């Protein structure tokens, strides 16, 4: 399938590395102008150089803004006023004793993982509706459905994103704007490597550590390996295209079969 996003502008939050960077790369390769986002200008500039090197002719806009704050969201809009494709990828995760997670930590997870996406949707969705075309996506997680005991606060924040996505899809009903969430399964990123080594023997090499992690902590995976970020990006790029014009209000899985359910 040929996906051509020429003439479209995208913003991918938290996109200097990992899944976010892979999504930005995929969108740029399909012709979109891409807003690359991170908290510090130097880090975003470095990622922008990497993206331009990876995608010939990539049109990249540096959006150095902490979009987990209202001030940062306003700065993002100042730097990139009109967005056709909004990918709410920014998120934090980590393990914690579920009975010791403080109120402040719960608030932090909701502020970063949920409210950041809600704010940007409020800011950009009206313009999409007015123009009669747009794509909003929320990068959720298998943890939204299969809540891990060691990451309850993270899992619940991702569950909230599924509801946010469905609700805003109804707001955009009949306008030409689609709103979806993408349920990403266990994915191979630098941060996840650290997470894996929190749970398995640190003396193991990466391949052995990954196999042990999947065996002990993610045995439901049908592909029995971590997903590569580009595999998540492929779905996001598709949902951002005209080819997915009838897909909205959905929670689309790229989880390697991890979630033991038939739908979606």
Phi and psi at residue 118, in whole multiples of 5°?
-65, -45
What is the CB-side half-sphere exposure of residue 105 using CA atoms within 13 A? 15
Q: What does DSSP assign to residue 62?
A: E
Q: Concatenated DSSP letters for 124-187?
A: HHHHHHHHT-EEEEEEEEGGGTS--GGGHHHHHHHHHHHHHHHHHHHHTTTTTEEEEEEEE-SB
- 154 is known as an active-site residue: yes
How many degrees, rounded to 5, is the angle at CA 14 between CA 45 and CA 236?
110
Asked if 183 and 146 touch (Cβ cutoff 8 Å), the reply is no
Per the residue annotation, which of 154, 197, 238, 258 is the catalytic one? 154
What CA–CA distance (Å, rounded) separates 61 from 247?
28
Question: Which distant-in-sequence residues (6+ apart) come within 8 Å of 183 by Cβ?
Answer: 140, 141, 142, 144, 145, 162, 251, 252, 253, 254, 255, 259
Catalytic (active-site) positions: 154
């Amino acid at each position: 399938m040929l996906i051509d996003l020429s003439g479209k502008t995208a913003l991918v939050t938290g996109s200097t590395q990992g899944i976010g960077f892979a999504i930005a790369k995929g969108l740029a390769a399909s012709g979109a102008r891409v807003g690359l986002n991170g908290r510090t200008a130097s880090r975003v500039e470095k990622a922008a150089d990497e993206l331009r090197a990876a995608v010939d002719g990539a049109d990249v806009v540096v959006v150095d803004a902490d979009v987990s704050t209202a001030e940062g969201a306003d700065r993002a809009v100042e730097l990139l006023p009109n967005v056709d494709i909004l990918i709410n990828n920014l998120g934090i995760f980590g393990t914690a004793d579920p009975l010791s997670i403080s109120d402040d930590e719960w608030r932090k997870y909701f502020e970063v993982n949920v409210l950041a996406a809600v704010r940007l949707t409020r800011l950009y969705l009206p313009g999409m509706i007015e123009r009669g075309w747009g794509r909003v996506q929320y990068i959720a997680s298998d943890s939204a459905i299969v809540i891990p005991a060691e990451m309850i606060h993270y899992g619940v924040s991702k569950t909230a994103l599924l509801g946010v996505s469905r609700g805003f899809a109804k707001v955009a009903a009949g306008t030409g704007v689609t709103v979806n969430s993408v349920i990403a399964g266990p994915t191979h990123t630098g941060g996840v490597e650290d997470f894996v080594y929190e749970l398995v023997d640190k003396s193991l090499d990466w391949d052995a550590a990954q196999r042990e992690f999947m065996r002990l902590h993610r045995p439901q995976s049908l592909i029995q390996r971590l997903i590569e970020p580009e595999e998540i990006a492929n779905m996001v790029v598709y949902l951002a295209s005209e080819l997915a014009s009838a897909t909205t209000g959905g929670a689309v899985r790229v989880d390697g079969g991890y979630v033991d359910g038939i739908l979606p």
